[in-house]
Structure 1
Amino acid sequence: MSVDAALRTAREVFGLRFLVVGCVPTIAACAFLLLLAFAGAPGPLRFADAWQAIAGLNLGQLVLGALGLVVLAVLVQPLQLPMVRLLEGYWPRWAALPRRYGTWRQTGRRRRLARAAELPEAADHAAVQRAGQAGTVLRRLFPVGGAPLLPTALGNALAAAESRAGREYGLDGVVAWPRLYLVLDETTRSVVDDRRNALDGMVRLSVTAVVAGVAAGALLAGSGWWLLLALAPLVIARIAYRGAVHEAVAYGEAVQTAFDLNRFELLRRLRLPMPADQDAEREANEVLCTLWRQAPGDRSLPLTYEHPEPK
């Protein structure tokens, strides 16, 4: 590997995404727990002692501690996708009861939004606006096409994004997105990446705050009323989760925009002819997505290619 390639890989691994998604939540949680430990937990807390202990750390101890936090963040990085799946509601079989309860809540929420989106017979301008707003929220937070609901708001918001992306063009967003992402223009990719980083950052903060809250509860079990401090990370976890739902909606909108602006570039890179109208586009894209869904050895659908003349 060349020096330039190594530097580029290092920037990708330890860049803004690693800082926002990996380092900040990990450092915040560890700093909170270390502060409690320095203050005397388990037992009565004396924060003056904690500040004295922190001020007494030498440069070597600080560097070693910072290196340990970075290593911890690197080790946790592969767990990012399982964290997202956990908050989406993809739970094991033994969690059937909370899954049913969550799905029941989400079904009720979708039903209420659907009723609010219905126009009454004698609708004035304000009623039309309210119905339109409810319909917009319904499309952003819940999947279309009769897809089954997940037990969490985050899971349904991401499922809504998957169901909408490329739908009007005959594209299946799940199978088309990995290919479309590679041909995005620089501006669109930057927007998509920023919103994905924000989503993953909120997910990591939420999960990390829950872990910190549980650890703080165990650490403060013998500290009397100081045990209430364990609620602070749990409140942060709840706020971060709501932020993750909003970021999921924003990410879905960015992905939909990416389909709007770059779907023809995907066809060009695949050396496929440009459709003449929307009907032809939908028909061609449905054939293409069917091809992508097939097993590797079962690709019998005919495609006609167009190769540009060499310059």
Structure 2
Amino acid sequence: MGLATLVGLDSDTLGPRFSLVSLLPTSAGTLVVAFVVAAGAPGEQPGWDEAVRTARTLDASDVALLGVAVLVVAVVLHPLQLQLVRLLEGYWGTGWLAARITAPLVARQRNARQALIERATLDPATTDPAATSVPADAAVADQVRRARYPSDPLLPTALGNALRAAERSAGRRYGLDAVVLWPRLYPIVPPAQRAVVEDRRDQLDLTARMCATFAGVAVVTAALLWRYPLWWLLPLGVLALSVLAYRSAVAAALSYGEALHVTFDLYRFDLLAALHLPLPADNAAERQQNKALSTWLRQGGPAPEAYRHLD
């Protein structure tokens, strides 16, 4: 039984995405902080026995009130999910402080990308010119580089670069601007593929929310427990969970980017049909048509010259 159930709600009422992305992390963070307070912090030395005694004194109305508080916080924070992900991506503004923080982090990302480029570059002195395949290590390095890093400009975080790489490369081989075309392609994607995309996006949003929630909980519990060194392991452990959640968010971003690529590969012609545009005869014609379409939808310009209306 979850906290929302105690106040008369269930996952069907709230929606599975809200329950997973917003309610679950908020509930987990609240329970950790509530445990620390129930254990006696910050007024006295925390203890497990004190936490158990406090928990036993709670009645149904106390738990329901806690459930309402968690639900309200989750509802208030849910619309900010996109801003949270963008914050973790490294969109921190253009002010002086943001620039000072961003510069060394971007340099670190650039060095990591350069190391992959060097691993993927074949040495003519040691490479057999007659070889028909690329060495495995070089191939893997090139694949990782393309998945994790876009061309310049780089963002200061691994999550931001993984998502930017996906946005820049999905559909690019066909001349499509994924950022512009994705909102138009998504509604016509078949349910099976849409479920894959949504599942991977939910994984990304959940791990990003877990990262932010655990980081906040680590700060709060550190403030409550700073006078009790024996309990410092708790905020440190929560902080470690935040770091782990961030790494999971990067992995989820790579998986989400792969789903975007597959969707453009399989259903880009359905997009042209939905826009009543003729199907191209070959790859060159496709790229030319898609580039013109992307430019028209992004910033105006010459409109399509002909439409193809299905009978």
TM-score by length of 2: 0.90
Separation in 1 of the partners of 2:282 and 2:244? 45
Confirm or deny that 1:149 pairs with 2:154: yes
Aligned residue runs from structure 1 range 1-311, under 5 A: 14-42=14-42, 43-92=44-93, 93=95, 94-121=97-124, 122-123=126-127, 128-143=135-150, 146-294=151-299, 298=300, 300-309=302-311
Gaps of 5+ in 1: 1-9
Separation in 2 of the partners of 1:302 and 1:59? 64
The answer (yes or no) to whether the contact 2:35–2:51 under 8 Å persists in 1 is: yes
Are residues 109 and 142 of structure 1, via their aligned partners in 2, closer, same or farther at CA, if it must alter by over 3 Å?
same
Separation in 2 of the partners of 1:182 and 1:303? 25
Q: Which moved more, 1:37-46 or 1:125-134?
A: 125-134
The answer (yes or no) to whether the contact 1:139–1:160 under 8 Å persists in 2 is: yes
Separation in 2 of the partners of 1:246 and 1:302? 39
* CA drift at 1:168: 0.6
Counterpart secondary structure, 2:226: coil
TM-score by length of 1: 0.90
Equivalence for 2:5: none
* CA drift at 1:15: 2.0
Separation in 2 of the partners of 1:120 and 1:300? 46
* CA drift at 1:165: 0.6
Separation in 2 of the partners of 1:55 and 1:266? 59
* CA drift at 1:54: 1.1
Equivalence for 1:4: none
Equivalence for 2:7: none
Separation in 2 of the partners of 1:105 and 1:157? 15
* CA drift at 1:300: 4.1
* CA drift at 1:299: 5.2
Separation in 1 of the partners of 2:304 and 2:278? 13
* CA drift at 1:12: 8.2
Percent identity, please: 42
Q: Which moved more, 1:109-118 or 1:224-233?
A: 224-233
Separation in 2 of the partners of 1:79 and 1:120? 48
Separation in 1 of the partners of 2:208 and 2:228? 30
Root-mean-square deviation over aligned CA pairs: 1.8
* CA drift at 1:137: 0.4
Counterpart secondary structure, 1:81: helix
Which runs of at least 4 in structure 1 moved beyond 4 Å after TM superposition?
Answer: 10-13, 124-127
* CA drift at 1:151: 0.6
Are residues 182 and 18 of structure 1, via their aligned partners in 2, closer, same or farther at CA, if it must alter by over 3 Å?
same
Separation in 1 of the partners of 2:147 and 2:262? 14
The answer (yes or no) to whether the contact 2:293–2:304 under 8 Å persists in 1 is: no
The answer (yes or no) to whether the contact 1:44–1:224 under 8 Å persists in 2 is: no
The answer (yes or no) to whether the contact 2:295–2:301 under 8 Å persists in 1 is: no
* CA drift at 1:119: 1.5
Matched to 2:282, the amino acid is D
